[in-house]
Amino acid sequence: MNLRDLRYVLAVADLSHFGRAAEACHVSQPTLSGQILKLEEELGVSIFERVGRSVRVSRVGEEIVAHARRAVAAADSILSTAQAGRDPLEGSLRLGIIPTLGPYLMPFILPEAARRLPLMPLMLVEDQTERILEPLREGRLDAALIASDPAAGQLVEETLFDEPFWLVLPAGHPLAARTTIASSDLDPKSLLLLSDGHCLRDQALDLCGHPELGGLVNADMRASSLETLLHLTAAGYGVTVVPGLAVHNWRPDERLVLRPMRGPNTSRRVRLVWRRQSARAKALHALADLLRHCVPEDMLRIE
C-alpha cells in the first residue's frame, strides 16, 4: 500500500469512473485499475462494486476511502509544512470560492495575485458553500472564499469586506420609480431565489424576514445561477437580489431596473477561511491582505 494507490482510490471514489479517474491521475486506465485491484487483493476486500461500466464504493470501501482521505491529507500537510519552511509564499494554493462571488471577484484577484504572488498560483474550485467547506476541512483545499458565517473553532477566518445587495426589478414595476428600496418594502411573495445550497438564497430570505417558503408564490421556481434569475425577472416572474460585485459588469437591459437597497440584512460579509492547523497560514494572511485591497472601495458602497 502506498500514497499513490490511495490517490487512485480517491479519484475513482470522487469521479465514479475508472477512465476519468485515470485521466485525472495522468495514468492509463489499465495502470490505475491494476493498482487498485492489487490493493484490494492485499486488503482482502473489494473497495469498489463494478456493475457493467458503472462503479460505486462498497460498504467497507466507504470506511477505507475515509481513512485514505485522512492519510493523503496528512501526507500533503507534511509536504506543505516543509515547503512553508522554505518559502511560505511559494507553491500553488487550492482556493475554493462560491458561484455568486467567483465570476465577479476573480477579475480583480487573478491579475493582482499574479503580480504580487507570482510563485503562488491560485488553483480555483467553484462550488456551493458546504461543498467547498467539506474538502477544506479534509485538507483537499487550502482556503475558501465564502459569504456566510463558518462553523466556529475549526476554521480561521479573516473578514475581507461587506458587499451590498441590489434589487433587480422588471421595468414598469411599482418600486422601480424609487431611487432606493427599503428591505421592508419588498414583497416576499415576488422574490425569485437561487436553488438550495446557495448562501445568497438564505441571505435573500433573511432580507425579507425569512418567510415560510410555502407562502412564496415562486417557492418552487429556483435557479442555479444569477443569470437565470435575471432572465426570469426580465420575463416578469418576480424580483431578485444580486450582490454588489455583480453590478460592476452590469449590462444595460431595457427590461430590467437596478436599485440599491437600504435597511437590515442588505449586505453580506465576504471572508477568507482556512484550517486552524494549516502550514500555509503566512501565505493565506498575504492573500487576505491582497483580497482586501484589490476591490475598489466605491464598488462596495451604495451612493
Query: How do the domains of the chain map onto residue ranges?
Result: 3-84, 90-161+268-300, 162-267
Give the model's confidence band at 81: pLDDT under 50 very low, under 70 low, under 90 confident, else very high: low
d(CA 289, CA 133): 21
d(CA 122, CA 111): 11
Tell me the mean pLDDT in the region 53-59.
87
Distance of CA 217 to the CA centre of its chain: 28
Closest alpha carbon to 96 in 134, 140, 143, 130: 143
Residue 217 phi, psi dihedral angles, 5° rounding: -60, -40
Pairing of strands 93-97, 193-194: unpaired
- Secondary-structure class of domain 90-161+268-300 per CATH: alpha beta
**Matching residue, cell 455583480:** 246
Provide the mean pLDDT of the chain: 86
- Secondary-structure class of domain 162-267 per CATH: alpha beta
Q: Which residue stretches of 87-155 are H helix?
A: 102-116, 129-138
pLDDT value for 164: 92
Q: Assign a CATH topology to domain 3-84.
A: Arc Repressor Mutant, subunit A (1.10.10)
Q: What is the CA radius of gyration of the chain?
A: 23
**CA 95, 101, 104, 107: dihedral to nearest 10 degrees?**
-10
Res. 218: pLDDT tops 80 = no
d(CA 97, CA 148): 12
Question: Is the whole model's pTM more than 0.75, yes or no?
Answer: no
90-161+268-300 against 162-267: fold identical: yes
Res. 220: pLDDT tops 60 = no
243-284: pLDDT as tens digits: 989 887 777 788 999 999 888 889 999 999 999 888 888 899
